[in-house]
Structure 1
Amino acid sequence: MSQSMPRTINEYLEQLRYALRSEDPALIQDALYDAEDHLRSEFAENPNVPPAELLARIASSYGAPDEVADIYRDKERVVQSALKPPAPPVRTSALAKFFGVAADPRAWAATIYMLMAMPLGIFYFTWAVTGLSLSLGMMILVIGLPLTVLFLATVRVISLVEGRLVEVMLGERMPRRPIYAQRGLTLVERVKQLFTDTRTWTTLFYMTLMMPLGIVYFTTAVVGFTLGASLFLNPIVSLFWDIGLLNIDGEVFNLPLVLQPLQMILGIVLLFAMLHLARGVAKVQGAFAKHLLVQAG
């Protein structure tokens, strides 16, 4: 679809958005932010040049919206290829696939994220609830609106930070730039946009949900890996110390010696199963974060 030369910054950005309409929303957000930043810098340096003429110059140097969209697609393929972990060896048997998860760096990164999720979730929840409470409580005062705007601005910052954690640790493509904010709007219009942008409120929803999710992730990871390690190490440790699989009122209980090899095998299976679970959590949590934190394309 051929488009006429944009006459304003907003027209340029809308054409760029349209050209990237089939791409990842995170990529669209990054491209819009970069393009707007470049365009407004050019307009600030050339205040006396008519907008249509300046945009024509920019299109010949920075690129027309369609050309910029192609550049971002190519760059995204290169970046994703560079960030992609090495492909694991091809494994044909089910047993090799099951134990081969130990060579997947994403599984270990997701495990670390599960352990981090509870303290992060508590912080997010506390910040969201405290900020909303103070904002609503102060709304009747002069300071109420500025405080609310400041709080919602921090929510967007937290959204970007969480997105970087999700991309690095869970492998889900997330924005690397702030939300496209249409910086040509007046202060009143930008404040209104902050309140009416659905991503502001979905991010707050995400922050409140992260506490229960974080508790579930942390508890599952700690219990699962601890139990697996205990089952595997108990027969070895009990040879040197009087430590049982169960200790009740000072009484030590261990499985019969003939069953302890099976206990160790069960422990190893549980440890590897937890890595598979962590990899599954990475996919689910990544999709959840993408849906609530990323500006729709």
Structure 2
Amino acid sequence: MNHPIAKTIREYLDQLRSELHGADPAMIQDALYDAEEHLRAELAEHPQLDEAAVLAKVATSYGAPDEVAEIYRVKEGEVEQALRPRRVRPVAEKSFIAKFFGVAVDPRAYAAMFYMVLAMATGIFYFTWVVTGLSLSAGFAILIIGIPFIVLFFATVRALSFVEGKIVEAMLGVRMPRRPLYVDREKSIWQRIGAMFTDPRSWSTLFYMVLMLPLGILYFCIVTVGMALALGFIVAPFLHVFGYGDGIVMRDGSEVLWSAPVWAMPLVFVGGVLLLFAMLHLARGIGHLHGQLAKHLLVKAA
């Protein structure tokens, strides 16, 4: 797409956003942030030049918007290719058994399971932070410190969303922003504050942080109960061999020792192994779905 030569940094960034239309929103956020940082650094180094002259100068070094967009698209593809696990055979050629047990060598499954356990702690923290912040904001609204406190609270929420994005990308493998949200520095401070409150991303981030509490509890219960059952079934036959496999049941109001039949022990062991691998698949699937949810709520649409 051919654009007229940008005369201001805002025009340059608008052209870059147009060139990156349809790309990953996280990548667009990173590209806009990097471009603005570079252009404003060039402008600060040459105070005797106006924006148009600086943009004409950096067009040959940093690149025109279409060139920068192409570089980001190529680099993004190279990074995704490098991070994608290598496969000896295409997935379609693998048997069901190979696919089922192959999850054991997928690090993403273990990372997702760890995230599900961690989500309970982060969910409690996020929920407490949001509820406390909103409550105090409502209470301070009638005071002179109300507006500064609300602005500070929303700023901390944005910072926490950036940290959460880092965690999601590292553990769940979903591309998240690696740079803070691009902010138009040509706007006044009041315009920036107004944009922060009218930005749907600010409110979707609050919703995500509140939602993390029930999701974190659910994830933690799934992992702990599922893994406890799986590992319990696996070790049960060995405990039975050493005489530790007896259980207690109630019959006619009295306690009675009960032991599973010997012939059932191999089936219990196999069931535990199958449940263990099923839990890895479930964790990987939940991790993928949660990553998409985080991206939808935490990343501003391009």
Does TM, normalized by the shorter one, top 0.5? yes
Once residues 22 and 160 of structure 1 are traced to their aligned partners in structure 2, the CA distance between those partners, rounded to angstroms, is 22
Q: 1:176 aligns with which of 175, 178, 183?
A: 178
**Superposition CA RMSD, Å:** 1.7
The one-letter code sitting in structure 2 at the alignment partner of 1:295 is: K
The one-letter code sitting in structure 2 at the alignment partner of 1:55 is: L
More displaced stretch, 213-222 vs 69-78: 69-78
**254 and 6 in structure 1: CA distance in 2 versus 1, 3 angstrom threshold:** farther
Q: 2:212 aligns with which of 210, 213, 219?
A: 210
Q: Are the equivalent residues in 2 in contact too, given 1:234–1:244 (CA < 8 A)?
A: no
Q: Are the equivalent residues in 2 in contact too, given 1:85–1:105 (CA < 8 A)?
A: no
Q: Are the equivalent residues in 2 in contact too, given 1:122–1:211 (CA < 8 A)?
A: yes
Equivalence map 1:69-84=2 (5 Å):
69-84=69-84
TM, length-normalised to structure 1: 0.95
More displaced stretch, 155-164 vs 43-52: 43-52
**2:279 is the alignment partner of 1:279:** no
Count matched residues.
297
The one-letter code sitting in structure 1 at the alignment partner of 2:262 is: L
The alpha-carbon deviation at position 247 of structure 1 amounts to 6.7
Aligned to 2:119: 117
Aligned to 2:275: 270
The one-letter code sitting in structure 1 at the alignment partner of 2:267 is: L
Aligned to 1:194: 196
Q: Secondary structure at the match of 1:60?
A: coil
Q: Give CA deviations for 1:81-138 in whole Å, capped at 9, x if unaligned.
A: 2333333655622112111110111111101111111111111111111111111110
Aligned to 1:294: 299
Q: 2:162 aligns with which of 160, 163, 168?
A: 160
The one-letter code sitting in structure 2 at the alignment partner of 1:98 is: F
Q: Secondary structure at the match of 1:238?
A: helix
The alpha-carbon deviation at position 154 of structure 1 amounts to 0.8
The alpha-carbon deviation at position 75 of structure 1 amounts to 1.4
Q: Are the equivalent residues in 2 in contact too, given 1:17–1:32 (CA < 8 A)?
A: yes
Identity of aligned residues (%): 54
Once residues 78 and 246 of structure 1 are traced to their aligned partners in structure 2, the CA distance between those partners, rounded to angstroms, is 59
Q: 2:225 aligns with which of 214, 223, 226?
A: 223
Q: 1:257 aligns with which of 234, 239, 262?
A: 262
The alpha-carbon deviation at position 260 of structure 1 amounts to 1.1
The alpha-carbon deviation at position 198 of structure 1 amounts to 1.0
Once residues 105 and 74 of structure 2 are traced to their aligned partners in structure 1, the CA distance between those partners, rounded to angstroms, is 29
Q: Are the equivalent residues in 2 in contact too, given 1:234–1:245 (CA < 8 A)?
A: no
Aligned to 1:45: 45
Structure 1 segments of 4+ aligned residues over 4 angstroms from their partners: 88-91, 245-252
Q: Give CA deviations for 1:180-213 in whole Å, capped at 9, x if unaligned.
A: 1112222111111111111111000000000000
Q: Secondary structure at the match of 1:13?
A: helix
* Structure 2: segments with no counterpart, 5+ residues: none
Once residues 233 and 137 of structure 1 are traced to their aligned partners in structure 2, the CA distance between those partners, rounded to angstroms, is 55
The alpha-carbon deviation at position 245 of structure 1 amounts to 5.7
Once residues 241 and 212 of structure 1 are traced to their aligned partners in structure 2, the CA distance between those partners, rounded to angstroms, is 41
Q: Secondary structure at the match of 1:174?
A: coil
Q: Are the equivalent residues in 2 in contact too, given 1:230–1:245 (CA < 8 A)?
A: no
Once residues 159 and 234 of structure 1 are traced to their aligned partners in structure 2, the CA distance between those partners, rounded to angstroms, is 43
The one-letter code sitting in structure 1 at the alignment partner of 2:258 is: F
* Structure 1: segments with no counterpart, 5+ residues: none
Q: 1:131 aligns with which of 133, 154, 157?
A: 133
Once residues 250 and 65 of structure 1 are traced to their aligned partners in structure 2, the CA distance between those partners, rounded to angstroms, is 78
The alpha-carbon deviation at position 246 of structure 1 amounts to 6.1
**154 and 256 in structure 1: CA distance in 2 versus 1, 3 angstrom threshold:** same
The one-letter code sitting in structure 1 at the alignment partner of 2:268 is: Q
More displaced stretch, 47-56 vs 264-273: 47-56
TM, length-normalised to structure 2: 0.94
**205 and 53 in structure 1: CA distance in 2 versus 1, 3 angstrom threshold:** same
Once residues 296 and 213 of structure 1 are traced to their aligned partners in structure 2, the CA distance between those partners, rounded to angstroms, is 24
The one-letter code sitting in structure 2 at the alignment partner of 1:174 is: M
The one-letter code sitting in structure 1 at the alignment partner of 2:5 is: M
Once residues 139 and 286 of structure 1 are traced to their aligned partners in structure 2, the CA distance between those partners, rounded to angstroms, is 35
Aligned to 2:187: 185
Once residues 127 and 251 of structure 1 are traced to their aligned partners in structure 2, the CA distance between those partners, rounded to angstroms, is 50
Once residues 100 and 232 of structure 2 are traced to their aligned partners in structure 1, the CA distance between those partners, rounded to angstroms, is 20
Q: Secondary structure at the match of 1:17?
A: helix
